[in-house]
A and B are shown apart, each in its own frame.
Chain A
Amino acid sequence: MTGLITMDDLTNEEILSILDDAERLLPVARGEMHLPLLQGRIMGNLFFEPSTRTRMSFETAMKRLGGGVVNLGDVKTSSVVKGETLFDTIQMVDGYTDIIAMRHPRQGAAQYAQDAARVPILNGGDGAGNHPTQTMLDLFTIRQAHGRLDGLKVVLAGDLRYGRTVHSLSHALTRFGCELIFASPSLLRMPAEIVSDLREHGSNVVETEDLYGCINDADVIYMTRIQKERFADEDEYARCAGAYKLHAKHLGDVKGDMIIMHPLPRVDEIDPSVDVTRHARYFEQAFNGVVARMALLCKLLGVPVPEDVASAGRVL
């Protein structure tokens, strides 16, 4: 394995093994234990597009494991603004680092970078394409709540057209035999080629505009933000904005162990009244970004996570 560009780079067995590694690393991610597995290693953080959670959790993950981080910084002040190609930027950072975490507005940029680099690339989102590290933390969160991934009923809701998190996640969930329901305004439906891919892989995908009609027998509701920045047309955005507003009052008849997830940031698609219910998992999900990325960094750098982390580490 070189980098992680799409979820196709991992087998189901590898996914489960990385989630097991992540589980064991939880005390390290929480700062309860010191375990410098990646001491002496340096990660390049190349974010060509704004990011808060992904960039910070990559950096936190590396530092919790004793590694160092160098940042591209603001694209507006880097050599990118002078017209440097991605190829040249990667050639340079490749020489400075042992692994690169990257986000780029162009689809395919992560694969392009991997082809140009000697070190592994971790795709932190490329255009409306893939976001596999988000998928890993999503899978971690789902397994943490339900104890398994297979056979769950998952509702993915909101902006399914531009939301790269749901593109990667739906592929992964299909591989674990989950039942998928796509709830979105018609303008923001899951791209036809993805639906067709999922069906080819045996998924019996259901598409609907009626979110509230499909939440009562769901095991997971995965909400997404309508991404204003992806719309070229303000009127089109206005027609979709606020399409779904999940409120605590909608949750009266849902399953007791159903969880609500969101890649964050949210705007108004989840009302704060949901935050205090037992179903809300989005803040734990954001935290899980650290532990999932710690496990991925170890995997890609070829550093095994000890079976007994408690004995290998030092309690803080």
Chain B
Amino acid sequence: MSNEQSMRRVTAIRNGTVIDHVPSGQALRVLEMLGIAGETSVPVSLVMNVPSKKLGSKDIIKVEDRELTQGELDRLALVAPDAHVAIIRAYVVAEKLSINLGDEVVNVVRCTFSNCITTNAREPQPHRLRVVSRDPLHLRCHYCGRPQDLDELVKNAL
């Protein structure tokens, strides 16, 4: 099946964001990380486990009437660092956004360790996670040094 056929499983959107090349089975995690899961007023379409030349299989997410912000792209980097993001305006790709996972993730998510100094919401310094490895993705808190569980981390988006 061609990429075009995969995309056409759901209708083209007029305005919004298409997130393509999401690792297979990760679409729901991506939505949770972006805060789009559950109650949302915008239409969201997703296809999961469709064939992909690059990944073997992949998920695709279309969010209508909403353009991802830089903060949301930073969060996306933690669950789908190789995803392609396109902003759609009047049915055409108006902009392609790149996802950059640097050496450190700052003020994107909170450390998942319950006794970390950063759990005190009044402490003003930034939340910082170090990228220890990219594939597979391993993160550690800059302050307490604890490794981060990605499933828990999606619940700690800022």
Q: Which A residues are within 8 Å of any B CB, using their own CB?
A: 6, 83, 85-87, 104-109, 111-112, 115-116, 126-130, 193
A85:B145 contact, CB within 8 angstroms: no
Query: Cβ of B115 < 8 Å from any Cβ of A?
Result: yes
**Secondary structure at chain B's binding surface: helix, strand, loop or mixed?**
loop
Name which of B16-24, B72-80, B117-125 contacts chain A: B117-125
CA distance A285 to B125 in the complex (A): 37
Q: Which of B111, B120, B143 contacts A85 (CB 8 A)?
A: B120
Chain B residues near A85: list those with CB within 8 A.
120, 122-124
Chain B residues near A127: list those with CB within 8 A.
115, 144
Selected A-B contacts with CB under 8 Å, 15 pairs: A86-B117, A86-B120, A86-B123, A87-B125, A107-B113, A108-B116, A108-B117, A108-B142, A108-B145, A111-B144, A112-B143, A126-B144, A127-B144, A130-B145, A193-B146
Chain B residues near A106: list those with CB within 8 A.
115-117, 119-120, 144
A87:B116 contact, CB within 8 angstroms: no
> Given A106-B115, A106-B116, A127-B115: A111 and B123 within 8 A (CB)?
no
CA distance A129 to B140 in the complex (A): 13
Q: Which B residues are within 8 Å of any A CB, using their own CB?
A: 111, 113, 115-120, 122-125, 141-147
Chain A: CB-nearest residue to B113: A107
Chain B residues near A6: list those with CB within 8 A.
145
CA distance A66 to B119 in the complex (A): 39
B118:A108 contact, CB within 8 angstroms: yes
> Given A107-B113, A112-B118: A129 and B125 within 8 A (CB)?
no
Chain A residues near B145: list those with CB within 8 A.
6, 107-108, 111, 129-130
CA distance A86 to B122 in the complex (A): 9
For the complex formed, measure the closest distance between the CB of B53 and the CB atoms of chain A, giving whole angstroms.
35
CA distance A145 to B117 in the complex (A): 37
CA distance A127 to B119 in the complex (A): 13
CA distance A265 to B17 in the complex (A): 60
Chain B residues near A111: list those with CB within 8 A.
142-145
A112:B147 contact, CB within 8 angstroms: no
Q: Which of A83, A87, A104, A108 contacts B141 (CB 8 A)?
A: A108
Chain B residues near A130: list those with CB within 8 A.
145
Chain B residues near A115: list those with CB within 8 A.
125
Chain B: CB-nearest residue to A114: B143
For the complex formed, measure the closest distance between the CB of B114 and the CB atoms of chain A, giving whole angstroms.
10
Q: Which of B115, B117, B146 contacts A112 (CB 8 A)?
A: B117
> Given A85-B123, A85-B124, A87-B125: A193 and B147 within 8 A (CB)?
yes
CA distance A250 to B124 in the complex (A): 52
Chain A residues near B147: list those with CB within 8 A.
193
CA distance A126 to B116 in the complex (A): 9
CA distance A129 to B111 in the complex (A): 15
For the complex formed, measure the closest distance between the CB of B106 and the CB atoms of chain A, giving whole angstroms.
12
Given A105-B115, A107-B115, A127-B144, 12 more A-B residue pairs with CB atoms under 8 Å apart are A85-B124, A106-B119, A106-B144, A107-B116, A107-B143, A107-B146, A108-B117, A109-B117, A111-B144, A112-B143, A129-B144, A130-B145
Chain B residues near A116: list those with CB within 8 A.
125
Chain B: CB-nearest residue to A109: B117
CA distance A116 to B143 in the complex (A): 12
Chain A: CB-nearest residue to B141: A108
Chain A residues near B146: list those with CB within 8 A.
107, 193
> Given A6-B145, A193-B146, A193-B147: A104 and B117 within 8 A (CB)?
yes
CA distance A128 to B116 in the complex (A): 10
For the complex formed, measure the closest distance between the CB of A91 and the CB atoms of chain B, giving whole angstroms.
10
CA distance A112 to B142 in the complex (A): 9
Chain A residues near B142: list those with CB within 8 A.
108, 111
Chain A: CB-nearest residue to B116: A108
A87:B123 contact, CB within 8 angstroms: yes
CA distance A97 to B39 in the complex (A): 52
For the complex formed, measure the closest distance between the CB of B118 and the CB atoms of chain A, giving whole angstroms.
7
Chain B residues near A87: list those with CB within 8 A.
123-125
Residue of B111, B113, B141, B145 ringed by the most chain A CB atoms within 10 A: B145
CA distance A130 to B143 in the complex (A): 11
Chain A: CB-nearest residue to B143: A108
